[in-house]
Structure 1
Amino acid sequence: MNYSISTKNRSRERGSALVTAMIFSFVVMTLMGSYLYLTTSEYRVSTRSYLLGASFNLAEGGVDRALHALSQADQSGWLSGTDADGRPYWAQRFGPYDLEGNIEGYINVVILNPNGSTPEIFSEGEAAGHVAGVVSKQVRVSLASGFYPFINGFNSKQGIVLKGNNVTFDSYDSRDGSYGWSNINSEITVATTSVESDAIDIGNADVYGYVATGGSQPNVGPNGSITTYYNPGEVDLSRITTDFYAEFPSISVPALNSPVRSMPSSGTIAGGDYELSSWSMSGRRTLRIAGDARIVVTGDISISGKSGIEVADGATVQIFAQGDISISGNGILNESEVPEQLLIFGTNTTAGGQAISISGNGYLAAAIYAPNAIVTLKGGGSSGRVYGAVAGYSAQLTGNSHFSYDEALEDYNIGGGVLEVAEWTELSGVGLTAMRLNMDDYNL
């Protein structure tokens, strides 16, 4: 009897051990399966990320090939025709390129209106041959003959910092009259090609328009905004992009016709060409420019005290300066209130080698293109404002600075027959402005 009970107990123990072992094995197999699944998923994500990067690099390479073909007017190897919308095109597929691991890369490029003054390049990079499937990136590059330096409103190479409690960016259109009332818009783009994490520091400023960087999100303070006048105080993510690209070519001093070598400190000049080693006004002096003038300054420009320059309505003044520019006092009064009639060009060729400062109650209605200048706006009082456009090396706005972009300047072309990049966009396929071009329509 005792032997029988002992045998039954041992059988039960063996059964319990077997069940326990089976449960343990199931748990181990489940954990191993989960681990393998996670490992496989991570591998796929990592591989897809690599393929996306490779595809983007291929797309950029396609842009370079298209630019070379256009600059050389070389159609060799390109398919040509007219698409369904009546646009002439060149098209070509490049590859395969060895991306390692049995993965091949291809480039599909379409140039629309290749013989026109504003061609468009659509370049698509493909990575194929992996279990993740075909991965592609497509970019659109708009070109223009000549150069449009003021197409965005406020551009810089190395970044923009906004400091103060009343820093404001907005826009208007001088073709519709002066700034104010119904002529106040939200169409400025504050942009930098910098990819640094602090490329644009909004702080507590209000940007009634758009913000664009070369690769990072802007820093926005607790009271800052990126929005429209219809929705103040908000940070509208749809108005932020991180793929901004622009060219900042140097500008040359024009050939002058028998230039005058000195400038009076007050009175009126009829216009003409001037070439100065420096230009300074202080005290209570006023100089009026009554006609078209081109002024080249190899040194510094300083306007201070209660002195100022008046540009008569109907006159056009172009200033080319290699040295620093400091505008305070009564500044430069552009009576036409049309910024295009007062153009300031920085000709310094050293990155960060020039400083342009507008401070105090300085008032300026002008367009400034100085690709190597550090631009500083220090607003104060009721008239410390700038109307027009700025493109510089870097920029800082402080105090009560108010900058209003004149939308009419987006069409200003410095000229020249060389094609320049006007806009560069990565096409995500979302929204009408980011829709991809169907390469199949061009036999690619």
Structure 2
Amino acid sequence: MRHFVDNSKSQDAADGFVAKSDEGDGVNFVRRIIRKTRKRLTDSRGTVLLLAYFVMVVVSIFSLALFSRSQIFLRSSEHTQNRIVAFNMAEAGFATALQALETNIAYAGTGEFTSLATPSVQGGFEVEVQAVGDSGNVRFIRATGYSPSNDPGTRAAERRAVHGYVQVQSPGLFNAAVFADNAIAMSGSVQVDSYDSRVGVYSASNQGSDGDLMTNSTDPSAISIAGTSQVQGNVTVGPTSVTDLTQVVSMGANADVSGTVASLSTAIETPVETTNVISSGAMDLTGDQIQSLSSGTYHFSSLTVSENSKLFIPEGQVVKIYVSGSVNISGGGILNEAALPQNLVIYATKAQDVRITGDTPFYGG
């Protein structure tokens, strides 16, 4: 018996098997492609995120650097401005000390911070004044300026100092060119005025109106200004309730007072004796005598300069003369070579006459 096999069916089965096998491989391949694509996409997103973070960090660093730079410039400009203001404040403090010393030789400084703050400028100063040496009239001034304040913890705080030495003149015993406890009489062509020695010597262009006359008296004609005498200043008499002072101040027809005529609110206290220097007796110069005095304090029982004689005060010398008797100066008079009134002061300590006549200028007080 013969067996016949249908080869076509077997071939078909084989072909079906192969086709099925090829279909599975294709699916796997596609899956692999999808997985790789997903992985690549995932890797790309991570890279983009890292790149974004990097850019943000770089921008932040540059922003911080720019902000820090702007802050540095801002602080620098604030310090520069405050340094200038502090220096100006120190100069203002120094000027304040100079002005105070003109009227108060004992001025010792502000003692504390003095604010000069305004809505546009913040600052102030401190001033310290110290006496130097034994001369009594030399001062060391240290003025310290601050901005915006004297608190070192203040933002952009600055401090600058100005210091220097100054020589001050002690104020006179009386605040007038001529003072008398009793009476003052002027006649002829006497002129009393003032000048600023800092500007230069006395001249027509350097004349002031501080040549004041002052007395404690309210007696009739306590101050008499006759002839063509000129007073470039104020005339002040003793305390009185009388408003019409024409009886106390006698004025000639051709005499003139440039300032006011008034009365004191309180009498000026005059010491009986103002020096303990022993009297050298009478100073009596006549004929052509010339007597020179060096710096110092002198006490005479009387002082007379007449005819062509002269009492000479050399330049650079400062002389105080106390006279317990009469004073009569005429002829050559007193020659103050420096022409500085503060270099010669005459104090008449007793109730005696003081007469100054002649044409020689008198620079003194």
Give the TM-score normalised by structure 2.
Answer: 0.45
> Which of the pair is proportionally richer in helix?
2
Larger Rg: 2
Give the TM-score normalised by structure 1.
Answer: 0.38
